[in-house]
Copies of this chain bind each other. A is one copy, B any other.
Amino acid sequence: MPTEKTLRAGSAQKRAAILASARELFLTEGFDRSSVDAVAARAQVSKRTVYDYFGDKQTLLHAVFDEVGQSLLATVRRTLTDTLEGLTDPAELEPALVEFSMRITTDMLDSAEYTTLQRFVNTASGHLPHPDDRALTNAPEEAMGERFAALAKAGLLEVPDPRLAADHFIALTFGVTLSRLGSANAEKDSRVRPLIVEGVRAFLRAYRR
């Protein structure tokens, strides 16, 4: 077995530290410009340990990618049920959608996670081979689509293609905000809310029953 590589199970603490460090650096500085030395230093761990836990830099990127994707999906799901569960009053629809969108947008913009995540998917240095990745990336949109379908069933929206509606909603709120204010501070920026509100209104004009 020449290519047999034994990765240590190790204290989950160090592993988490390395992962957090890599996540922070990769997402802010970019993958190429983040050296493994820097990741190790930030995690207060020797470079050798990084290589013992994760085999190489690509694998480390992959681990970060998975983690970010999972946490993003979890946030979306939680916020979805927090703000849009069991809505029946049409008058509450707009404020609820604004609330949902604001929470997601501020969450995402602050750490620039979604942005760089997408950047990884499209441009990643060295293509990502795992087919799981696309699925993971699309999962948040799927979840939103299901929620929109539920709102349609409740008679609040008219949504022939829920998944497409989800894409449109994201584009009108998060997408516009991101492209206007390039991933800089979100909840503090007073320009965010009006953009979101207008995005939600446009969405409702297009999709309200």
- Pick the residue among B123, B180, B198 that contacts A161 (CB under 8 A): B198
**Residue ID in chain B nearest A123 by CB atoms:** B30
**Residue ID in chain B nearest A203 by CB atoms:** B206
Chain B residues contacting A170 (CB-CB under 8 Å) are: 179
Whether the pair B33, A122 counts as a contact (CB closer than 8 A) is no
Whether the pair A175, B164 counts as a contact (CB closer than 8 A) is no
Q: Considering the chains assembled together, what is the distance between the CA atoms of A116 and B116 in angstroms?
A: 13
A47 at the interface (CB under 8 A from B): no
A167 at the interface (CB under 8 A from B): yes
Q: Considering the chains assembled together, what is the distance between the CA atoms of A121 and B119 in angstroms?
A: 13
| Known interface pairs A33-B125, A164-B198, A198-B161; A175-B182 also in contact (CB < 8 Å) | no
A70 at the interface (CB under 8 A from B): no
A42 at the interface (CB under 8 A from B): no
Chain B residues contacting A168 (CB-CB under 8 Å) are: 172, 176, 199, 202
Interface SS majority for chain A:
helix
Chain B residues contacting A118 (CB-CB under 8 Å) are: 179
Whether the pair B182, A176 counts as a contact (CB closer than 8 A) is no
Q: Considering the chains assembled together, what is the distance between the CA atoms of A175 and B172 in angstroms?
A: 9
Q: List 28 A-B contacts (CB under 8 A).
A: A30-B32, A30-B123, A30-B125, A32-B32, A115-B122, A116-B123, A119-B123, A121-B182, A122-B182, A122-B183, A161-B198, A164-B198, A167-B176, A167-B179, A167-B180, A168-B172, A168-B176, A168-B202, A171-B171, A171-B172, A171-B179, A172-B172, A175-B175, A175-B179, A202-B206, A203-B206, A205-B206, A206-B206
